[in-house]
Amino acid sequence: MAGRGTAVLLLLLLFAFSLTSVSQKSMTVDEQGHLFRGIAYVKTGATHFLWGHPLLASSLNALPLLTEPTLYLPTDSAAWQSGEWEIASNQFLWQLNENPLRLIFLGRLPTLWLTLLLGALLYRWGRELKNKTAAFLALALFAFDPNFLAHGGLITSDIAVTFFMLLAVYGFWRWAIQPSSANRWRLPLLLVGIGLGGAAATKFSAAALGPILGLLGLGLAVRRRSWQPLLFLTAAGILGLLVVWGVYGFQIRPFPAAAYWDDFAWQLDYFSRPHGAYLLGQYAETGWWYYFPVTFLLKTSLPVLLLLVVVLGGLLFSARWRITALASLDQWVLAAPTAVYFLISLFTPLNIGYRHLLPILPFLYLFVSVNLSPLRPFTRSPVHLILSLWLFFIALSAWPNYIPYFNWAAGSPENRWQLLSDSNLDWGQDLPALAKWQTARSVPLYLSYFGTAHPSAYGLNFTALPTWEPGPEQIPPARQTFNPHDPAPGFYAISVTNLQGLVLGEASDTFAWFRDQKPVAQIGGSIFVYEVAARGEPVNVAFSGLRPAELAPELAAALQSNDVRVRWFDGRTSLIWPASGGWWAVTADASLNPLLQPLVQTAEIFTADDGRQQLLRPIAAPLVLDGQTVAMGETAVFLGYQAGQHGQLPYELSLITGWQVTQSTERPLKIFVHALDESGQLVGQWDGLGVDPATWQPGDVFVQLHQFAVPEGTAVHALAIGLYDGATLERLAEPVVVEWEIGD
């Protein structure tokens, strides 16, 4: 029934499912770090970016990037020098190189190839263990497993460590079953050594191979009354250490493979800290011993669970089968890795993903496939074919959203987000699908994204909401307009991990308001989109010293609307009057500057119950300004100035300038005031802006207070006033020059 041609077909289907799936997915959380560390090592030999992962898998993923004719690394940045991979990797992928999405695609290719190699090894071992039918079923279980399809094309170490662990145990089995001869050590020793070294140089969880192979070797030594199994494993272990050393370039200073042990020390320190975990709607810092058993039951496909129950039931209730299985080396070689690794998983404090169970699945598939033979109904080819078709339709129905896959027993898809978190569900993978959703509807979005990818690189137009600390393209916390108690009207796209609050620390309930709402769309199973309706008429509020989320409830209620159009200003140096009227929200302990107080006239004042905040409705400013109005580019108009007080030499000049906004802008604008002497030389200056240009709107009027010192013995004859871009230093227009006669 199942020959090599059928195996090739299964591998091609696996490749097609994986490639077409990851091609539609944005970069996941860990991929940026892996890709950057790999390319930094491959191109420059850098090993100082510590992350608790060895470098083999990352280096393999980086190899296709060497085909790029121009590839820039941030070797001159402070982050590179200090080993801050989070910052340096962001610079490398999103700032220095032109096509980050192409680099991500190239980096994913080696994982896809390694996944195919893993499938081929699984099929070969299945044929050697039993027959073509068993090998076919094992490969079908692997090729159509949504969990392997989810991670089989990502720039991570999970597939690589799974392959090398399988290779190591396969090599030991090959040695154990061969007749005793001088030549039987060669190939198996190479396989086990490469498997051990490759796994150890890929992920520290490969340490589980120690007890796995140790138990198998010890059991075989006792059974055969020979030291040979232990001598073989010792030799293989030495070869494995040489492989690890080779991956690190046979580094000898300050000691062999020092960079490897530096990462290992980092990992130990990381594991010593508490980690957040989420399971069935509950949070815990230390996790649960039953996390992985529950996760296994929720995310393993039903055909696999069914076959596992059938096989274990046969072992329990068939004495002949049980005796045969217990006496078989094949059974022990397949069962021991699964049992030992799964037992270790019960004690790990890092409860973040089913992907950590991937190394046991190939052994489990082989164990199930080989042990179906004693059961008559399952020995016939049609049954294997039916099971394979069932698996195929599961993979097809889940495509392309394999990361959030749950089996049917997990319940309604709408509620599965309450079961697990992180890489089980939402790993930052669905920005392209969200961009497609937004394009089809042409609506702006509020976005809280869990991931390290840049949403703008995928074409998203959004206003950033609070997210986890490493998240890119965030709004500074002091300028965050989101009010978690009363969200503004609009469409909100929230990553499920942020909705759960797992990674938000003390702000875990930031999006609690949405948890009881029904989303209008579920994007790929990892991003929920909500629509919030307007309540009341739009109202302009300019905030000084606080954010909308911090506004006292009684003051928020006085606005009678959730449609708050925010402006930011610093009441110590500026004032702003929204074009269509509105409010000032200020803190009472940071009152408005006395020099600006003559411009403050209010129609209403509300004070919070605790007296710490005030809501003021200002009357339009009675601006009496000197000078002529002058357009400063297309963004603002200079309305004139008021001369403030100044003291004796050395003295501080005080000046108030007035401005009107003509166009919204995202540029980080600043005002400059230059004091000039009689010859036009600069003798004093002021730069800054107390009103945030990111939120001002056409028609808004604001004033800015400028205070700066002029050296003693200096005469000021003129002031040059203008606007410039704080990032590029480009002036928006020629400055306005006004006469100013002060000083000796």
Give residue 373's pLDDT: 63
Asked if residue 519 and residue 386 are part of one domain, the reply reads: no
- Is position 279 within any domain? no
Asked if residue 547 and residue 504 are part of one domain, the reply reads: no
Give residue 649's pLDDT: 45
Which H or E run includes 278? strand 277-279
Give residue 623's pLDDT: 77
CB-CB contact of 174 with 394 (8 Å): no
Asked if residue 609 and residue 636 are part of one domain, the reply reads: no
What is the separation, in whole angstroms, between the first and last Cα of the chain? 104
Asked if residue 89 and residue 73 are part of one domain, the reply reads: yes
Asked if residue 498 and residue 566 are part of one domain, the reply reads: no
Which H or E run includes 528? strand 527-532
CB burial string 528-555: b at 16+ within 10 A, e below: bbbebeeeeeebbbbbbbbbbbebbeeb
- Which of 618, 642, 661 is where one domain is finished? 618
- Is position 375 within any domain? yes
Nearest-angstrom CA–CA distance, 517 and 587:
33
- Which of 618, 653, 669 is where one domain is finished? 618
Asked if residue 75 and residue 24 are part of one domain, the reply reads: yes
- Is position 164 within any domain? yes
Torsion of CA 287, 288, 293, 296, to 10 degrees: -20
Closest residue by Cα to residue 437 from 412, 464, 461: 461
Residue with tokens 């695609």: 105
Asked if residue 675 and residue 659 are part of one domain, the reply reads: yes
Give residue 513's pLDDT: 96
- Is position 625 within any domain? no
- Which of 532, 565, 591 is where one domain is finished? 532
CB burial string 252-264: b at 16+ within 10 A, e below: eeeeebebbeebb
Asked if residue 219 and residue 102 are part of one domain, the reply reads: yes
Asked if residue 198 and residue 126 are part of one domain, the reply reads: yes
Residue with tokens 């009675």: 622
Q: What is the mean pLDDT of each run of 10 residues along the chain (744 residues)?
A: 82 97 97 97 96 96 96 96 95 95 98 98 95 92 97 97 98 87 79 97 96 94 90 96 96 91 92 85 89 96 93 74 66 93 91 94 95 61 80 96 94 90 96 98 97 96 94 92 95 97 91 96 96 95 94 94 95 93 88 85 91 90 82 93 63 88 93 92 93 94 92 85 95 91 62
CB-CB contact of 360 with 337 (8 Å): yes
Nearest-angstrom CA–CA distance, 109 and 370:
32
- Is position 418 within any domain? no
Nearest-angstrom CA–CA distance, 194 and 196:
6
Asked if residue 135 and residue 46 are part of one domain, the reply reads: yes
Q: Phi/psi of residue 410, each to 5°?
A: -75, -5
Domain CATH number, residue 680: 2.60.40.2550
What is the C-alpha radius of gyration for the chain, rounded to an integer number of angstroms? 33
- Is position 420 within any domain? no
- Is position 624 within any domain? no
- Is position 656 within any domain? yes
Orientation of helix 209-224 relative to helix 186-200, angle to 10°: 150
Q: In the sheet where 539-544 sits, what is the strand order?
A: 564-568, 539-544, 583-587, 613-618, 602-607
Structure tokens at 629: 């109005």
Nearest-angstrom CA–CA distance, 698 and 635:
9
Nearest-angstrom CA–CA distance, 44 and 49:
12
Orientation of helix 132-143 relative to helix 4-22, angle to 10°: 0
Give the side-chain half-sphere CA count within 13 A for 73: 19
The set of long-range contacts for 261-266, using a CB threshold of 8 Å and a minimum separation of 24, is: 262/47, 262/50, 263/50, 263/51, 263/52, 263/53, 263/54, 263/55, 263/204, 264/52, 264/204, 266/50, 266/51, 266/52
Asked if residue 173 and residue 291 are part of one domain, the reply reads: yes
The structural domain count of the chain equals 4
Closest residue by Cα to residue 669 from 691, 698, 701: 691
Domain of 111 in residue numbering reads as 4-273+284-398
CB-CB contact of 367 with 335 (8 Å): yes
Asked if residue 609 and residue 722 are part of one domain, the reply reads: no
